[in-house]
Structure 1
Amino acid sequence: MPKKKKKASTEVKPKTRTKFEFPQEALPEYVPPPPVTGHQLLAALQSNEVNEKEFLGMKISKHIFQHLTTQEIRDLKVVFDTFDVDNSNTIDLKELRRAMKILGFRVTRREVKEMMADVDVTNRGCLNFNDFLALVIERQSDSRDIFEEIRQAFTVFDIDGDGKITLSSLKRLCREHKIRMTEREIRDMIREADHNGDDAVDEDEFIGIMLKTNIF
């Protein structure tokens, strides 16, 4: 009886894969290790230095601190807030002109308009505090030290030397200089300037009322 022929195997043998290797000349001489967690963020912050600094509860350009001291910025904030009557953190053209005159800048109406136009690039019709500081820095050589004059005046009223103008000190001052004012009038003066409700006027409050009344 003839033997049966075996069927040819249909199994496909896997092909041997050739391992790919980069040519040596294509590999860099040095491959830096992966950065430690957090280093990438630190590097990003260092390469994109923040150009603003938090001061007085707001962000102020670092450029400002190269030209003004922190005390000068505080003083200018008092002026700015005095004319920011609607608490919008901005001042318009009219308010800017009054503020510049208070600071002792010799500027005409036309010059103030040009100053506003230079800074107000978006045509909002108003300036924020950073814009205001930039204008003051630009015109610094044209001004007199109005704050020093007001501080000297404050020392005259602060006869007790405690940093406050009180009812008793004002009454005494009126007697010594023979100024006729009733106690009610003196109380009204203090009440007008006293913002923190301590029945006295400190230096900042005195500066504010002097600027508002345009005495200096």
Structure 2
Amino acid sequence: MDGFTAQEVADVRVVYEVFAVPDRGWISLDDLRKALRLLGFKISRERVQQVAAEVQNKVLMRGQTDFTALLQIVSKLQGSSYDKHGEIAQAFSLLDADGDGCLSAQDLVSAGVSGPDAEGMIAEANKTGTGLVTLEEFVSVMMRTNLFKRN
């Protein structure tokens, strides 16, 4: 996809796979909004419906978004209202299932990440050895990804 590096595409794919059921090959409109929020976009249901309709793959039924359509939507949304830190903080809040201000492996599992992957992510991001990731640690890790380096 034009405008994305291979790493950016991989980063979006990780988020897509959190919400896509393996046998379907698409995510629902509700899950699309969750995926976009996880990627850091502040977006209303109405705006999600609008932008999805603009890029929807003709093969898919209304309300279904495949990976290519998700990339197109992310590309479309990144232009105007992209606040890196705010977007990352919003994603952190979405992942913080228990609302304790830290991410645990269980928080990530609740978001659909496998147990071993969740534990690996926490181990990589947590620099204090607590087994929990603070907002600052999360921002630090996310700012190193190509998805947030681009702006």
Which TM-score band applies after superposition, normalised by the shorter structure?
0.5 to 0.7
**Pairwise CA distance, 1:69:** 1.1
- SS of equivalent residue, structure 1 residue 139: helix
Q: CA RMSD in A?
A: 3.9
Structure 1: give runs of 5+ residues left out of the alignment: 1-63, 154-185
How far residue 80 of structure 1 moved from its aligned partner, in angstroms, is 0.2
Counterpart CA distance in 1 for 2:46 and 2:23 is 26
Aligned to 2:54: 118
Hey, what's the Cα distance between the residues in 2 that align with 1:149 and 1:106? Answer: 10
Q: How many residues align?
A: 107
Q: Which residue of 1 aligns with 2:28?
A: 92
Residue 166 of structure 1: aligned partner: none
Please give the TM-score of this superposition, normalised by the length of structure 1.
0.40
**What residue in structure 2 maps to residue 194 of structure 1?**
115
Kept in 1: contact 2:20–2:26 (CA 8 A): yes
Amino acid at match of 1:201: G
Letter in 2 for 1:120: Q
Match of 1:139 among 64, 69, 77: 77
The one of 53, 65, 79 equivalent to 1:127 is 65
Q: Are the equivalent residues in 2 in contact too, given 1:91–1:128 (CA < 8 A)?
A: yes
TM-superposed CA distance for 1:109, in Å, is: 1.0
Q: Equivalent of 2:12, from 76, 92, 103?
A: 76
Name the structure, 1 or 2, with higher relative contact order (CA <8 Å, separation 6+).
2
- Provide closer, same or farther for how the CA distance between residues 201 and 120 of structure 1 changes in structure 2, counting only shifts above 3 A: same
Per-residue CA shift, 1:73-107, capped at 9, x if unaligned?
A: 11100000001135422111111111111112122
Please tell me whether the aligned partners of residues 81 and 87 of structure 1 are also in contact (alpha carbons under 8 angstroms).
no
Change in 2 beyond 3 A, CA 1:88/1:145: farther
CA deviations over 1:94-139 (Å, ceiling 9, x no partner): 1111111111212211111111211225361311111110110111
Residues in 1 aligned to 2:4 and 2:14: alpha-carbon distance in whole angstroms = 15
- 1:164 aligns with none
Deviation at 1:149, TM superposition (A): 5.3
Match of 2:40 among 104, 107, 119: 104
CA shift at 1:202, angstroms?
Answer: 4.1
- Gapped regions of structure 2 (runs ≥ 5): 93-103, 126-132, 140-151
* TM-score (norm. length: structure 2): 0.54
The higher radius of gyration belongs to 1
CA contact (8 A) 2:33 2:48 kept: yes
